């Protein structure tokens, strides 16, 4: 299972988290009122191989890449990786470069003009760079993790958000899934 669009029902207990179409930040706050965001990095760099295609970028183009942890207290629940093409930072996404430790999801879902495209799902292991980035914040690394990604657009400018669900998130009740097996 190394490709995007793996059916979410294959994720078993994780499918409710994967298929929740609302704000993940808002959903996590319902099960963890002390949820906080810790910005790990924000830099201009080349996107990952499969992100070029999703964002319609040419190989070698750079983007702003932001990585954060969503934590319940000090326990990491989700590793999030966001990619914004630089042309979007000169336009509708300019404010996102100044989020700091504030959640990106709150900014996206607060704007009714932001369009969200369908969710994609994938299981990942140690061969994927996002797996390695995510497990760097764990005491013990599981063999595999589930992640989802979604593209957002504002004024025709894309933004790609990938969320990697860490083992501790499984201790919280997942949203009711809308997927039929």
Nearest to 130 by CA among 140, 120, 145: 145
The domains located in the chain, with CATH, are 30-113+124-171 (3.40.1410.10)
Nearest to 86 by CA among 52, 44, 49: 44
What is the distance of C-alpha 106 from the center of its chain?
Answer: 13
Q: pTM, whole model, 2 decimals?
A: 0.89
How confident is the model over 114-151, as pLDDT tens digits? 999 999 988 999 999 999 999 999 999 999 999 999 99
| Bridge partners (DSSP) listed for residue 124 | 145
Lowest mean per-residue pLDDT among 21-30, 33-42, 75-84 = 21-30
């Amino acid at each position: 299972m190394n490709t995007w669009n793996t059916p979410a029902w294959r994720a078993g207990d994780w499918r409710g988290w994967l298929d929740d179409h609302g704000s993940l930040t808002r959903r996590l706050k319902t099960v963890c009122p002390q949820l906080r965001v810790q910005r790990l990095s924000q830099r201009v760099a080349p996107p990952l191989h499969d992100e070029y295609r999703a964002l319609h970028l040419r190989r070698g183009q750079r983007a702003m890449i932001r990585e954060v942890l969503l934590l319940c207290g000090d326990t990491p629940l989700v590793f999030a990786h966001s990619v914004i093409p630089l042309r979007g930072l000169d336009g509708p996404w300019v404010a996102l470069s100044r989020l700091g430790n504030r959640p990106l999801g709150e900014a996206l879902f607060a704007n009714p003009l932001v369009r969200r495209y369908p969710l994609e799902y994938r299981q990942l292991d140690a061969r994927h760079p996002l797996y390695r980035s995510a497990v760097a914040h764990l005491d013990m690394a599981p063999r595999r993790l589930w992640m989802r990604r979604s593209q957002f657009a504002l004024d025709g400018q894309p933004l790609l958000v990938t969320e990697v669900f860490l083992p501790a998130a499984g201790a919280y009740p997942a949203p009711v899934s809308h997927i039929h097996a």
